[in-house]
């Protein structure tokens, strides 16, 4: 026999577990995006280091200045550098 209290507690527990899993999925997606953008920035830094003969710190400063000037994110600037490098090579 199934008691109503046992069924209710199982439903409440399942609902909370579902909420927690949804929250964790969102966090995983955000972290994956963050790692992906860090890889883009690093790749763009390598491209600038090779082309302009500057350090990684200087390359990041260049990208940051461009981002502020154009009111874009550093990740967008990094993507543009990577795309331009692919087209020109």
Cα-Cα-Cα-Cα torsion 34, 40, 45, 48, nearest 10 degrees, comes to: -150
Q: What pLDDT, in 10s, does the model give residues 30-48?
A: 999 999 999 999 999 999 9
- Name every residue whose Cβ is closer than 8 Å to that of residue 49 and which is 6 or more positions away in sequence: 55, 56, 59
- Look up residue 2 and give its DSSP letter: -
CATH code: domain 4-88 is 1.10.10.10
CA angle 71, 72, 73 (to 5 degrees): 135
- Please determine, for residue 5, whether its predicted confidence score (pLDDT) is greater than 80: no
- Name every residue whose Cβ is closer than 8 Å to that of residue 39 and which is 6 or more positions away in sequence: none
Per-residue pLDDT band at 1 (split at 50, 70, 90):
low
Can you give the residue ranges of every domain in the chain? 4-88
């Amino acid at each position: 026999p199934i008691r109503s209290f046992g069924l209710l507690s199982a439903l409440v527990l399942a609902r909370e577990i579902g909420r927690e899993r949804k929250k964790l999925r969102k966090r995983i997606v955000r972290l994956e995006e963050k790692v992906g953008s860090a890889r883009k920035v690093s790749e763009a830094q390598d491209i600038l280091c090779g082309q302009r003969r500057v350090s990684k710190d200087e390359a990041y400063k260049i990208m940051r200045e461009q981002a502020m000037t154009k009111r874009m994110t550093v990740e967008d600037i990094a993507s543009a550098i990577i795309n331009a490098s692919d087209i020109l090579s």
